[in-house]
Amino acid sequence: MMDALAVRPRHSEIAVVVPVYNEADNIELLVARLVPVLERVAKSFHVVFVDDGSRDATLDVLRRVHAADARMTAVSFSRNFGKEIAIAAGLDHADADAVVIMDADLQHPPEVIEAFIAKWREGYKNVFGQRTDREADSPLRRMFAKRFYDLFSLFGETPLPEGAGDFRLLDHTAVEALRAMPERARFSKGLYAWIGFKGIGVPFEVAERAAGTSKFSYRKLTRFALDGLMSFSTLPLMVWTYVGTIISVFALCMAIYFVGQTMIYGVDVPGFASTIVSIMFLGGVQLLSLGVLGEYIGRIFAEVKRRPLYLVGERIGAPADLADDPLPPRQRSRMGV
If one asks whether residue 95 binds Mg ion (CB under 5 A), the answer comes out as no
Which is nearer to ligand UDP, 79 or 306 (by Cβ)?
79
Is residue 23 close enough to count as binding Mg ion by CB under 5 A?
no
Q: Which is nearer to ligand UDP, 104 or 175 (CB)?
A: 104
- Should residue 105 be labelled a site residue for Mg ion when binding is judged by CB under 5 A? yes
Q: Which residues contact 51 (CB under 8 A, 6 or more apart)?
A: 20, 21, 58, 59, 62, 74, 75, 76, 77
Nearer to ligand UDP, 86 or 170 (CB): 86
Query: Among Mg ion, ligand UDP, none, what does residue 19 contact (CB within 5–8 Å per kind)?
Result: ligand UDP
Interatomic CA distance for residues 329 and 306, integer angstroms = 9
CA dist 69 to 28, 60, 64, 107, Å? 12, 14, 9, 23
Identify which of residues 155 and 216 has a Cβ nearer to ligand UDP in the complex: 216
Closer residue to ligand UDP (CB): 20 or 61: 20
| Residues engaged in binding ligand UDP (CB under 6 A) | 19-21, 23, 52, 80, 82-83, 86, 103-105, 107, 209, 214-216
Closer to Mg ion by Cβ: residue 33 or 63: 33
Q: For the CB of residue 141, give the shortest distance to ligand UDP in the complex, in Å.
A: 8
Nearest Cα neighbor of 17 from 38, 36, 43, 1 is 38
Residue 231 found at the interface with Mg ion (CB under 5 A): no
Distance between CA atoms of residues 58 and 211, nearest Å: 13
What is the distance between the alpha carbons of residues 15 and 49, in angstroms, rounded to a whole number? 10
DSSP annotation of 124: -
H-run or E-run covering 45: strand 45-51
In whole angstroms, the minimum distance from the beta carbon of 304 to Mg ion comes to 33
Taking the least distance from each CB to ligand UDP, the nearer of 19 and 110 is 19
Q: How far apart are CA 142 and CA 68, in angstroms?
A: 39
Strand ranges across the sheet with 12-20: 199-204, 126-131, 164-171, 96-101, 12-20, 45-51, 72-77, 312-316
Contact partner at residue 92 from Mg ion, ligand UDP, none, CB < 5 to 8 Å by partner kind: none
| Residue 88 contact partner, candidates Mg ion, ligand UDP, none, CB within 5 to 8 A by sort of partner | none
Residue 201 contact partner, candidates ligand UDP, Mg ion, none, CB within 5 to 8 A by sort of partner = none
Q: In angstroms, what is the minimal distance from the CB of 191 to Mg ion?
A: 20
**CB of 30: closest distance to ligand UDP in angstroms?**
9
Closest distance to Mg ion from the beta carbon of 140 (Å): 16
Residue 84 touches which of Mg ion, ligand UDP, none (Cβ within 5-8 Å per kind): none
Q: Please state, in angstroms and rounded to a whole number, the distance separating the CA atoms of residues 67 and 62.
A: 9
The site that binds Mg ion (CB under 5 A) totals a number of residues, namely 3
26 is a contact residue toward Mg ion (CB under 5 A) = no
- Whether the CA torsion 21, 26, 27, 30 is positive or negative: it is negative
What's the closest the beta carbon of residue 214 comes to Mg ion, in angstroms? 6
Where are any strands of DSSP class E within 164-223?
164-171, 199-204
SS3 at position 183: coil
**What is the smallest separation between the CB atom of 323 and ligand UDP, expressed in angstroms?**
20
Q: Which residue type does 28 have?
A: E
Instruction: Select the binding partner of residue 20 from ligand UDP, Mg ion, none (C-beta < 5 to 8 A, by kind).
Output: ligand UDP
Binding site for Mg ion (CB under 5 A): 103, 105, 107
